[in-house]
Amino acid sequence: MRSNASRSAAVAAVDLGASSGRVMLAEVDRDRVTLTEAHRFDNGPVRLPDALHWDALRLYAETTTGLRTALARRPDLASIGIDSWAVDYGLLDSGGALLGNPVHYRDRRTDGVPERVVAALGAQRLYRVTGLQLLPFNTLFQLTAALGTPALAAAQRMLLVPDLLSYWLTGVVGSEVTNASTTQLLDVRTREWSTELIEQAGLPARIFGPLRRPGDHAGELLPEVGEAIGATWPVPVTAVGSHDTASAVVAVPAETDRFAFISCGTWSLVGLELTEPVLSAASRRANFSNEAGVDGTIRYLRNVMGLWLLQESLRAWRAAGLDVELTDLLTEAARRPALAAVIDPDDPEFLPPGDMPTRIAKACVRLGQPAPADPAAMVRCIVDSLALAHRVAVRQAQELSGRDVDVVHVVGGGARNELLCQLTADACGLPVVAGPVEATALGNALVQARALGVLDGGLAELRAVPRRDTTLRTYRPAPGAAAAWQAAADRIGRPG
């Protein structure tokens, strides 16, 4: 392994999202990070007769394609880091072979499972130990749904998606803690697997491997992998915040700790960064999560359905033969009346793939509102509803944690959505700072650079780099809007 002492380094940030993936070449020095896209590819579910799956083998192939390109540009590549979405996993047998493609979190195999598990283990106890919100796709519920299957019976290891890819690259087994914290099987205080919960849930303890932290050495490229992608030396893989939100929050260009973040993509992850978990009964009832962040922090947040509603609506319209582009729809939506119809984006009916516009229209009617009459009106309904959900989550996070905030940082793909950013500022009554768009890859690269010795210090020092080096846009809240947003929250029965 090469020396850590360096003034600059090139690293590869593998960033896998629920709808697309990318391999970014990051050239890092003490003042800036230059990101260059080495490879980008679509990602999505594959429907098989038994379930909805991810194509893990294709993800690996696309990842190695991107790494090959990155190495061709920078043969001195100093490190590789991998992040992805949470909760989904692959099972390995005793020989290290994958026992089938991972099941997609939007599959319905967990229908009815959370209720059974909560009845057996207790909602209060689950929250006290794991600090995690109850979501139907949490790994605990997925594994419970898999009990009795041949795959789980044969499994010797369970690896979440970024850990699975890291294992294929290096041959070293390990589970990174920020993603492990989303399983509802990690003790939020000790940051170790909760063996007691695992045993009482009836899950095989053998499948839960050693944990590692962001910045840890995760192994080096296997010789055959290195040869295949053109590496001339054993490039190390570095554990980063392997939950994509954990990496994104590293790159929030905040000046103080008085900020809320919205990591906005397929999901909107809305919350605060804290030093201790909030495990109160009120926090549990509000369904907030305490997820592990980089440097021992807590990402105190709620999952909001996010841009998935727009993505699925566009897919449905195009499948129906409509020639629609999101940019044009957002421009037209900005001209439509504000808050004419709103929905609760977190209604479980919006979770599975399908005809999203029809579902949203029916939800509007159920709530006594007019159904949006055309795609632009539907987009306005979605964006208003997301901004409203952001408002609810930001306000509740402050109330439940006792932490006041002065600014909301929107990072990720949603930072490009000018209408959503402005409406979020209006709804929250706080300035919104939008950017960086590639926050996840940037945070991934920053953690690698610190592990290599190019950067030092804590999160404040890491965040100073994107603050100096990124074009940010600030949206100011419109005056006098609070009453209208409160009325909209009342309409759907959410605290405003």
Q: What is the Cα–Cα distance from 359 to 374, expressed in whole angstroms?
A: 14
Straight-line distance from the first to the last Cα atom of the chain, in angstroms, rounded to the nearest whole number: 53
Closest by alpha carbon to 86, among 407, 301, 255?
A: 301
Question: Kind of pairing, strands 236-238 and 192-193?
Answer: unpaired
Catalytic residue among 15, 88, 163, 244: 244
Which three-class secondary structure state does DSSP give residue 470?
A: coil
How far is C-alpha 187 from the geometric centre of its chain's CA atoms? 20
Q: What is the Cα–Cα distance from 30 to 32, expressed in whole angstroms?
A: 6
The CA-atom distances, in angstroms, between 474 and each of 120, 384, 416, 435 are 48, 19, 12, 9
Secondary structure (DSSP) of 142-189:
HHHHTTT-HHHHH-SEEEEHHHHHHHHHHS---EEHHHHTTTT-EETT
Question: Kind of pairing, strands 432-434 and 407-411?
Answer: parallel
Q: What is the Cα–Cα distance from 421 to 300, expressed in whole angstroms?
A: 21
| Residue 461, number of CB atoms within 10 A of its CB | 13
Q: What is the Cα–Cα distance from 123 to 114, expressed in whole angstroms?
A: 10
Farthest CA pair distance, the chain = 65
Query: Does 374 participate in catalysis according to the annotation?
Result: no
Secondary structure (DSSP) of 304-317:
E-TTHHHHHHHHHH
Q: What is the Cα–Cα distance from 473 to 410, expressed in whole angstroms?
A: 10
Which three-class secondary structure state does DSSP give residue 340?
A: coil
Q: 495: which 2 tokens?
A: 């605290």
The answer to whether residues 436 and 442 touch, using CB atoms and an 8 Å cutoff, is: yes
Q: What is the Cα–Cα distance from 406 to 260, expressed in whole angstroms?
A: 8
Phi and psi, residue 112, nearest 5°: 85, -15
Catalytic residue list: 244
